[in-house]
Amino acid sequence: MAVPEHRYSRPLHARGFAYLSLLLALLASGCSRGPQSGGNKQDQGISPSAESTSSPRAETASLGNVDTTLHPQGAPLPRLFPPDVTLTIEVAPPDAWPLFRGNASATGVSSSTLPENPRLLWKRNFEYGMFESTPAIVEGVVYIGSYDGNFYALRLEDGKEIWHFPTELGFNAPAAVYQGRVYVGDTEGRFFCLDAKTGEPLCAHETQAEINAAANIYEDSVIFGSQDASLYRLRLETLELVWKFTIDDMIQCAPTVIGNKGFIAGCDGRLHIVNLDTGEGINAVDILAQSGATPAASGDYVFCGTYGESFFGINWRDAKIVWEHRHPRRGYPFQSSAALTPEMVVVGGRDKMIHGLDPRTGKEMWTVMTGGRIDGSPVIVGDRAFVGSADGRLYAVDVATGEEMWHYEAGGGFIGSAAVASRRLVIGNDDGDLLCFGEEDQ
């Protein structure tokens, strides 16, 4: 559809502060934001017999000839995989971070490098801004939206602004950058396609509620979810609707893609498995509570947490929960999306901890305590995981041991996640600061 020009003007500062206060109040309530909407099981293409029957009490999960039992307290299971199965992890290219979690399968892993002690190379403060979203980095340009009403393109080298695109309420959704175009939704529910060089709006698509999660790319289409409870597939060139898949509550996670399958962890308490060619629901797994986390995926397995204080390992092909992790003493929600290696799942919690879990069993291998809750998602670079905390610190921890290797005291708390490309890390905080770390004279 054409872009209605009169709707996209820079907001008044007073209006911006009022909207920001409202958004912050809504943010604290997670999936309870906004009206519920959605369809029934028939609308989703899911037959009642196809759904997972997992319950809070107990479930037997079968993986080949391996049987395990899920306990209500989340006791670790003997193993997730048969001995001959190894996770194959998709990684982002060294010179780009084009999607929220770096790649279509949302593993949160970069093939770039960072120095042992990253230095702050530049910092830009946006006076009326606040960053909840994760940057995208493509061809030396940082793309990020702010609550000040603007979406920005900045030079990775020095943070200098290239262009900005103004709206009335602003952005908390990360962008997807693909083939010279930027795809991003705003807090009014409008999804935009912008020219990556100029910021000119090329086309837009209206949804019925806020868009606060990132898009993914599948073949000739862009796929994203909205708080109107729908997952959309739109054509890349025109944003014309291909199909819409509706669940029983809001969608606040980015869709994860493996082959022609998409995965969304919904506010309806289910992990949905969607055929991306047809827009039909293949199956759904009961994850016992609402979720806004983007699932990390490899092969037949996905990993995600919930607001119900659990983190799950799931065999999506069998539509079964194989293990559940709950901290034995500190029960807090998981808003963070996990980063994934063959040996470790790394995820932040609202218990103020960074958790390292065995992907085969869900067993907790290590924890790192920070001074604030962790809603942002870790990014793995080499043998380290980088994650920001609400305590205002950016941490680097050893993926294998959890040992803290480095930290930086930024002041403002981190809600969003880092992006890593071309040996630089970029992250924004709730003080309106956008920070870039790397090595001097690189």
Domain parsing of the chain, residue ranges: 58-438
- CATH homologous superfamily of 58-438: YVTN repeat-like/Quinoprotein amine dehydrogenase (2.130.10.10)
CA dist 405 and 72 (Å) reads 35
Longest CA–CA separation in the chain, Å = 63
What pLDDT score was predicted for residue 23?
44
What pLDDT score was predicted for residue 194?
98
What pLDDT score was predicted for residue 307?
95
What pLDDT score was predicted for residue 442?
56
- Going residue by residue through the chain (442 aa), what tens digit of pLDDT does each one get? 444 333 333 333 333 443 443 344 344 446 754 333 333 333 333 332 233 323 222 222 222 222 233 333 344 444 455 556 678 999 999 999 999 999 999 999 999 999 999 999 999 999 888 999 999 999 999 999 999 999 999 999 999 999 999 998 899 999 999 999 999 999 999 999 999 999 999 999 999 999 999 999 999 999 999 999 999 999 999 999 999 999 999 999 999 999 999 999 999 999 999 999 999 999 999 999 999 999 999 999 999 999 999 999 999 999 999 999 997 777 799 999 999 999 999 999 999 999 999 999 999 999 999 999 999 999 999 999 999 999 999 999 999 999 999 999 999 999 999 999 999 999 999 999 999 999 987 5
What pLDDT score was predicted for residue 169?
87
What pLDDT score was predicted for residue 85?
67
What pLDDT score was predicted for residue 32?
55
Return the half-sphere exposure (C-beta side, CA atoms, 13 A cut-off) of residue 342: 6
What pLDDT score was predicted for residue 152?
97
pLDDT, tens digit (0-9, with 9 covering 90-100), for 105-146: 999 999 999 999 999 999 999 988 899 999 999 999 999 999
CA dist 419 and 437 (Å) reads 11
What pLDDT score was predicted for residue 15?
37
